[in-house]
Structure 1
Amino acid sequence: MEIRFAEKEDLEQIITLFRETVLAISRNDYNSEQLSAWANRSDSKDLWLRRISEQYFILCYKGNDLVGFASLKDDDYVDLLFVHHKSQGKGIGKLLLNTLTDHVQSLGGKSIKSHVSKTAKPLFETLGYKVVSPNIVRIGEVELTNYLMKKEMIEN
């Protein structure tokens, strides 16, 4: 597996992975209206380009295939974490989250947090994140539940 920074030329691959993953993986946690609203967030290319240029945005490749991506906002907030629906359960999410955590620690951060979907919650819990509170996200008229989760860093 290779981790590298995202570039604007990666935009189409990132958007495709995001959309396909939301629609394929989260079916057991969200209804079709919620999934459609969430997946349609991929339509805003300007938002994605801003994330790539402003955030600590990393990609994970296996050979020539993009298998996941993650981003860090404001030096301590996991904004994005998505693993391709055909690459689930292979340690990619853990690798991406650990890479973000290492970066936060290198900056002197004491904790890392994220708003985490129902689908991703078990992964975050496995890696030591604790639920701070449930949260409701509104996308237009559609509401989705996620969780504010936080992990305290262990001092070395």
Structure 2
Amino acid sequence: MRTREVEIRLFRTSDADALANIYVAAVAQLGRGHYTPAQLRVWRARSPSAEAIRDAYLDGRRAFVAVNEYGQVSGFSDLEQNGHIRYLYVSPHMAGRGIARKLLVTLKDQARALGLSRIFAEASEVALPVFERAGFLSLQRQNFEIDGIAIHNYAVEKRILDSAKRQSAKATR
């Protein structure tokens, strides 16, 4: 399946259960090659419930869901009003098919429409290559602890410039 068969649409409250399930499955399965069992256990323990996702996605941020050709929710992401991306998760059985990339393109387009100068996130080892392929810069590795277990992620960001600003920047060089 290619990304052309995936539709990106706005979040619906009825999606919340599927998103919570995708989060847990992605951490457990996709994180396996990048994090220790203890790290995965504490990360999974912090998984948002369907209710928490529903509440977060009704706070004014832009929330998007990827739906495959059979109408199944396959991934999700969001863009807070300040440009922060809180979630970017894809169902493990759909990983590697360009869904995360398509979600990031949607977020970049939304950020541009909102006049934001950048979008940023905290990327796991699993997500870091996806963000980098989408033009995000890795700013730094962030080491921290969850329940006494050392774990890490990466601060990433992408500058958003509209075409008028790009033209202006080229003209001043």
TM-score by length of 1: 0.92
**In the aligned structure 1, how far is the partner of 2:39 from the partner of 2:101?**
26
1:53: which partner in 2? 58
Structure 1 residue 8, shift from structure 2 partner:
2.4
Work out the number of aligned pairs and report it: 156
**Matched residue, 1:22:** 27
Coordinate RMSD, CA, aligned: 1.5
| Consecutive unaligned residues in structure 1, runs of 5 or more | none
Residues 74/27 of structure 1: CA separation in 2 closer, same or farther (3 Å cut) = same
Q: Work out which of the residue numbers 126, 132, 137 in structure 1 matches 2:139.
A: 132
Residue number among 34, 46, 49 corresponding to 2:39 in the alignment: 34
Pair 1:105–1:81, CA change in 2 (3 A)? same
TM-score, length-normalised on structure 2? Answer: 0.83
How far did residue 31 of structure 1 move? 0.7
Are positions 1:148 and 2:152 aligned together?
Answer: no
Taking the aligned partners of 2:162 and 2:113, their CA distance within structure 1 comes to 12
Identity %: 25
Query: In the TM superposition, what whole-angstrom CA distance separates every residue of 1:102-154 from its partner, at most 9, and x where no partner exists?
Result: 00000111111111101111111111111111112433322321010111123
Larger strand percent? 1
Q: Does 1:89 align with 2:96?
A: yes
Structure 2: segments with no counterpart, 5+ residues = 1-5, 164-173
